A and B are shown apart, each in its own frame.
Chain A
């Protein structure tokens, strides 16, 4: 580990300062996937783990928070899906449990901001456009995640490569976190060069030892090439990126019939842990899966990303020699 690099790169980093973490690496909140074991492991490795609450109940969230606290003394976050009709109850749990920061997606977080701020919880909305990043800053967000369409799960329409510099230019002072397609040191380095203060990584942590998804799901991630990742359900207006399998084929068959959005229940595309038969469910996954070839612990993953980022930046500097 190159400690000088870490000191230079991350000591004055706005995001690490904001969240009190070692590396500006956020494990993306994945509904149905990221729970206490994974979250604590990421935190203990120097990044920030985020519980994905999705459509979960307040009871479930409270329990996961307690479990996480038992596994780490580092700060961690909770991702709130604002489409969840019970989102306000989850906010109460978050405030009660004094969670460091909340990530929001799938809706407008502005109405919730006063409550979270009063509760001392930092707010980090996930947005698909630079314009929204600026708007979130004006509304009081502490940082903002801009997520490109390379990500897994529900996707927007802009790419990370385009989104990050635009968002970095659009905000005044809050940290911009790059997300979508980042799974290794080179991409991390690139995101920093594009103007991000840090990165949010989801897919790479699917293939983490501590991740609680089914082994068949992990195998599908590490075996997938870049051609094996598909976007389905565009007809619903909420496209979802996942690994091609029999489930995707069945959805494709329905799509050929030009169906109404109501003909497919959105629950079928929700994040989940998978089962013994990887063909039966939606294996949400980003485009970067083609670059993930092994299952490692969260510590190994994070250390590798940081080291590789240093090397990548060093190599880049050689262009000047």
Chain B
């Protein structure tokens, strides 16, 4: 044997379930000989045909062609990695006898000619135990990957873009009555990490600023923060609030925010139907945070205006209860798009660069929510020590802890976090409990106290939440610098390859 399956996969860009050659016996001059062992349980036999399982002819041709491209890639040499090999012509295909489940197919493929390094003509055959089953001729077009992109991507874009808009720059985010210049929402960070200064400055620089109101003392504090944020943002700035569903003073705090006229409410950590009833009175759009298609569907039915699709790379509480696998935002996003949900989708969790933003938009998001990037800014409302914990965090410092809320949470290691991980964190004291999250709290430690301590800079007793990419943060910035950087990166990509919506 010249190459086994794994070695074949190193040469030709195929893998299961669309690899149709699993052994190369030899290459002699312009001829290659390979094999494919079929198995009765291979799924194509189940459907072709229902009452007479034989290998589909097109797959036999595919196997012959894949074997041929291996030979061609070797002829091209090392540079072949920069080339796409594409089916150009198939002719003179004859299927002389069926291939049965369990047959070992022998491919013999001859390279007839390779012209101008562009077109290769082949003749190939498939046989089983010396009996000829199929013969076929085909041409393969060899194209530089870069040329391919220029030539065909432009074409496919123009045909796919009929009736659609082409964006060579980041598109704005418009929901209901407001429009943010950039589709970047600053994620709400409780307790009191994203207040008026951060939210106001994000809004001022074209993003959507979010004041996290969970854990606040009362309606007055909520209103005051929103007012101050608006003052910084100026007219046209978009300001919203984030509120957890599980908090005890939910109605009071949300009502205050709605009365103050916020542009949106982002609601997560406990899906609450009353959010929608309350927001409806003020015609305020509600963005529901969802980490699954199921929750997204529930939110759509309940009347959400948008869905924040949050994956497992987010910081703080993660919507993946014990036993549920952590999932990437992009995967959940694609699933939600495929499920037919029509609401605007905001991707969250691990979005770090302009390229990440573009990736999410191309996958169907209308915007992104980013929190961790905005912690290491002068404007962030947390203590400098909280910010330094982000800036200094190394990859190994990013850990998952159990929150008393009953969900996992991602944090940066601090002396307190180490205690939580060791199970030695001080239990919540009954006399100190404000019932902030009501009966869902398992009281393993007081999370409100730990978050408050962290945001005030007491890392010995503090819990510093952060996203999985926090170790990539290594300097203090300003909100303007961060947004300029993100927009610059994204626009550079879109200038080359526009976004089609």
Partners in one complex: yes
| A259 near B92: Cβ-Cβ < 8 Å | yes
B329 to chain A, nearest CB (A): 49
Q: Whose C-beta in chain A lies nearest to the C-beta of B136?
A: A257
Residues in A with CB closer than 8 Å to B137 are 257-260, 263
B134 to chain A, nearest CB (A): 12
Interface string of A250-280 (1 = CB under 8 A from B): 0000000111101100000000000000000
Cα distance A262–B121 when bound, in Å? 8
B192 to chain A, nearest CB (A): 74
Cα distance A220–B135 when bound, in Å? 35
Interface presence of B438 (CB below 8 A) = no
| A263 near B123: Cβ-Cβ < 8 Å | yes
A contacts with B, residue count (CB < 8 A) = 6
Q: Whose C-beta in chain A lies nearest to the C-beta of B135?
A: A257
| B113 near A258: Cβ-Cβ < 8 Å | no
Interface presence of B94 (CB below 8 A) = yes
Residues in A with CB closer than 8 Å to B91 are 258, 260
Question: Quick one: given A257-B94, A258-B91, are A263 and B135 in contact (CB under 8 Å)?
Answer: no
Cα distance A125–B135 when bound, in Å? 43
| A260 near B112: Cβ-Cβ < 8 Å | yes
A29 to chain B, nearest CB (A): 30
6 tightest CB-CB pairs across the interface, nearest first? A262-B112, A258-B92, A257-B92, A260-B121, A258-B91, A262-B113
Q: Name A's B-contacting residues (CB within 8 A).
A: 257-260, 262-263
**Would you call the interface of chain A mostly helix, strand, loop, or mixed?**
loop
B contacts with A, residue count (CB < 8 A) = 10
Of A259, A260, A263, which is in contact with the most chain B CB atoms at under 10 Å from its CB? Answer: A260
Residues in A with CB closer than 8 Å to B135 are 257
Cα distance A258–B92 when bound, in Å? 5
B114 to chain A, nearest CB (A): 10
Cα distance A258–B91 when bound, in Å? 7
Cα distance A192–B139 when bound, in Å? 49
Residues in B with CB closer than 8 Å to A262 are 112-113, 121
B261 to chain A, nearest CB (A): 73
Residues in B with CB closer than 8 Å to A259 are 92, 123, 137
Contacts A258-B91, A259-B137, A262-B112 supplied; 11 other A-B pairs, CB < 8 Å: A257-B135, A258-B92, A259-B92, A259-B123, A260-B112, A260-B121, A260-B137, A260-B139, A262-B113, A263-B123, A263-B137
Interface string of B89-110 (1 = CB under 8 A from A): 0011010000000000000000
Cα distance A305–B214 when bound, in Å? 114
A251 to chain B, nearest CB (A): 14
Cα distance A257–B113 when bound, in Å? 18
Residues in A with CB closer than 8 Å to B112 are 260, 262-263
Residues in B with CB closer than 8 Å to A260 are 91, 112-113, 121, 123, 137, 139
